Amino acid sequence: MSTNKQSPITGRVVALAEVKQRRRLENLIYTRRRVAQLAAEHRSHRLDDAVELYVLQLEVETVLADEFPDAFDTHFADWADEEAAAEHHPEATSPTCSICEAIAKNRGGDHSPHAA
Ligand SMILES: [Zn+2]
């Protein structure tokens, strides 16, 4: 029998709070990754809203740093590499860029990247 004096209900509330926190962290990391990818793609294509997307990315990163400083420190080092990988020269195409993919589809269903 357990010697834990915490009631089953209190234990469940604590567990639920931990699950909510973990979900929030996962959502923030996912949102940051998607926004950073979009910002890099829009920069690569010199689109006007690239700056707005970058500002949004910084806002999400600020929330992450405030609420989950340890996770922020853990992930921060990888972000620069991910962003560099997501960008491409404006006259080139990238197989991982959703805008390049949309352009290729619009040109007739060819999904392969076209070298500039
Ligand atoms: Zn592209």
pLDDT of residue 28: 97
CA 99 to centroid of ligand 1, rounded, Å: 5
CA 45 to centroid of ligand 1, rounded, Å: 6
Distance CA 73, CA 114 (A): 37
Mean pLDDT for the stretch of residues 22-26: 97
Structural domain includes residue 8: no
Above pLDDT 70, what percent of the chain? 89
Structural domain includes residue 6: no
Query: How far is Cα of residue 58 from the mean position of the Cα atoms in its chain?
Result: 11
Structural domain includes residue 2: no
Structural domain includes residue 38: yes
Structural domain includes residue 94: yes
Computed over every residue of the chain, the mean pLDDT equals: 89
Q: Using one digit for the tens of pLDDT, what is the confidence trace for 47-101?
A: 999 999 999 999 999 999 999 999 999 998 899 888 888 899 989 999 999 999 9
Structural domain includes residue 68: yes
Give the residue numbers spanning the domain of 60: 16-109
Residue 3 scores a pLDDT above 70: no
Above pLDDT 90, what percent of the chain? 68
Task: Collect contacts of 73-82 with beta carbons under 8 A, ≥24 apart.
Answer: 75/29, 79/32, 79/36, 82/33, 82/36, 82/37
Domains of the chain: total: 1
Query: How far is Cα of residue 33 from the mean position of the Cα atoms in its chain?
Result: 1
Q: What is the pTM of this model?
A: 0.79
CA 93 to centroid of ligand 1, rounded, Å: 5
CA 97 to centroid of ligand 1, rounded, Å: 5
pLDDT of residue 116: 44
Structural domain includes residue 116: no
For the chain, how many residues are written? 116
CB 26 within 8 A of CB 68: no
Structural domain includes residue 22: yes
CA 31 to centroid of ligand 1, rounded, Å: 20
